[in-house]
A = this chain, B = another copy of it.
Amino acid sequence: MTSSSAGRRRQAARNDETILAAAREVFLADPKAPIAAVAERAGVGISALYRRYPGKEDLLRTLCHDGLRQFIAEAEDAARHPDDWTAFTTFLRAVVDADVHSLTVHLAGTFTPSEQMHADAVAASGRATALFDRVRPHLRPGVTAADITMVLEMCAAVRLPDPGRTRQLRRRYLAVLLDGFQAHGEPLGSPPAEGELNWRWQQR
Contacts and interface: CB of A to CB of B under 8 A. Distances in A.
Contact of A177 (B157, B158, B176, B182): B176
Nearest to A190: B168
A196 interface: yes
Interface in A132-173: 150, 153-158, 160-161, 165, 168-169, 171-173
A194 interface: no
DSSP majority for the A interface? Answer: helix
Contacts of A176: 177, 180-181, 183, 188
A141 to B, nearest CB: 13
Interface residues of A, number: 34
Given A150-B169, A153-B157, A153-B158, A177 B175 contact: no
A169 B192 contact: yes
Given A188-B175, A190-B168, A192-B169, A199 B154 contact: no
B180 A186 contact: no
Nearest to A157: B157
Given A168-B190, A189-B171, A199 B160 contact: yes
Nearest to A188: B172
Contacts of A157: 153-154, 156-157
A154 B176 CA distance: 12
B186 A175 contact: yes
A21 interface: no
A32 interface: yes
A32 to B, nearest CB: 7
Contacts of A179: 179-180, 183, 185
Residue from A156, A171, A188 whose CB has the most chain B CB atoms within 10 Å: A188
12 contacts: A150-B169, A150-B173, A154-B158, A168-B189, A168-B190, A169-B189, A171-B189, A173-B177, A176-B188, A179-B180, A180-B181, A182-B183
